[in-house]
Structure 1
C-alpha cells in the first residue's frame, strides 16, 4: 500500500501563525523518516524545523521566553489533570473513592478546569464534560478502528451509544 495523501487529525491544534498545510507537512515528515532510515523522533523534527525554510518551522514557537511560558502552561495543565481526590464517607461505612479532582470544561468563551463533582452537578457543565468524553472515545475508536483485537470493545461502544444523551 502507498500513502495517497495527508490531512491533520480531527481536533489538531496549532500555535497561531502556523501554516497548516497537511500535504507539505506530511510529505516533509515522510522525507525525514526516510532520511533517518525509517525512524523519526521529535528531536529530528525539531532539528529540521529550526531552519526557516522548513515547512515545519511555523509550527514552533521560536521566541524562547514565549516557548518557556507555553511549556510552563502545559506543565500547569498536566499538574491540574494529575490530582486525584480521595472522597471518604464521614460515617466510614462506605470505602473511600478515588477520582480525578478536576475536569476540563470547554466553554467556548472561557475554557477552564472545574472540580469534578461540581462540574458534574451542573447541567451545562455536565453536558460539556460528557460531550468532550464522548468525542475523545470516538476519536480513540477512529484511531484504532483497524485493530481487530478491539472489535468486541467497539460492539460495547455501539451498544452504549444507544443510551448516551450527550453526544456531539
Structure 2
C-alpha cells in the first residue's frame, strides 16, 4: 500500500488549528525514515529538528530552561500516574485491591488530578473520567481495528456501548 497523506492523531497536541501541516510533517518524517533505511528513532527526529529550516523545528521547545521545566512536569505527571493505592477490604480473607490512586480530571479551566475513588463518587468528575476512558478505548480500537485477532473484543466493546448512558461517551 502507498501512503496517501498524513494527519495528526485525534486527541494529539498537534491537531489541526495549531498552524501545523500534518502532511508536510508526515512527508518529512517519511523522508527521514527512508534515509535511515526504514528504521527511524526519536533521536533521528530530534537531530533533524535542530535545524531552523526543518519543518519539525517548531514542534520542539529550544529554550533549555523552558524545555527542562516541561520535561520535569512530564516526569511529575508520570509519577502521579504510577502511584497505585492498595485498599484493604472489610471482609476478612478477601485480598487487598490495587487500583490507580489518582485520575486526571480535564476540566477546561483547571485540569488536575484527584484521588480516584473520590473522583468516581462525584457525578461531574465521574462523567469526565468515564468520557476520557471511553475516548482512550475508542482510540485504542481505532489503532488496532485492522487486527482480526481483536474482532471479538470489538464486539464486546460494541455491546458495552449499548449499555452505557449516552452522556458517558
Question: What count of residue pairs does the alignment treat as equivalent?
Answer: 165
Q: Distance in 2 between matches of 1:100 and 1:163?
A: 24
In structure 1, C-alpha distance between the alignment counterparts of 2:100 and 2:54, rounded to whole Å? 41
Aligned residue for 2:25?
25
Helix, strand or coil at the partner of 1:162: helix
Q: Is the 8 A contact 1:19 1:58 kept in 2?
A: no
Equivalent residue number for residue 67 of structure 2: 67
Aligned position for 1:79: 79
Structure possessing the higher relative contact order (Cα contacts under 8 Å, 6 or more residues apart): 1
Give the superposition deviation at 1:108.
1.1
Residue aligning to 1:110: 110
CA positional deviation for 1:164: 1.2
For each residue in 1:62-95, what CA deviation from the matched residue of structure 2 results, as whole angstroms up to 9, or x when unmatched?
Answer: 0001000000000000000000011112563532
How does the TM-score come out when normalised to structure 2? 0.94
Structure 1 unaligned segments of length 5 or more: list them: none
Are the counterparts in 2 of residues 103 and 114 from structure 1 also a CA contact under 8 Å?
Answer: yes
The corresponding residue for 2:57 is: 57
Q: Residues 71-126 of structure 1: CA distance to partner in whole angstroms, max 9, x if unpaired?
A: 00000000000000111125635321111100011111111100000000000000
2:75 and 2:45 map into 1 onto residues whose CA distance is 21
2:100 maps to: 100
Pair 1:13 & 2:18 matched: no
CA RMSD of aligned residues (A): 1.3
Unpaired stretches in structure 2, ≥5 consecutive residues: none
Residue 156 of structure 2 corresponds to 156
Q: TM-score, normalised to structure 1's length?
A: 0.94
Q: Distance in 1 between matches of 2:33 and 2:168?
A: 38
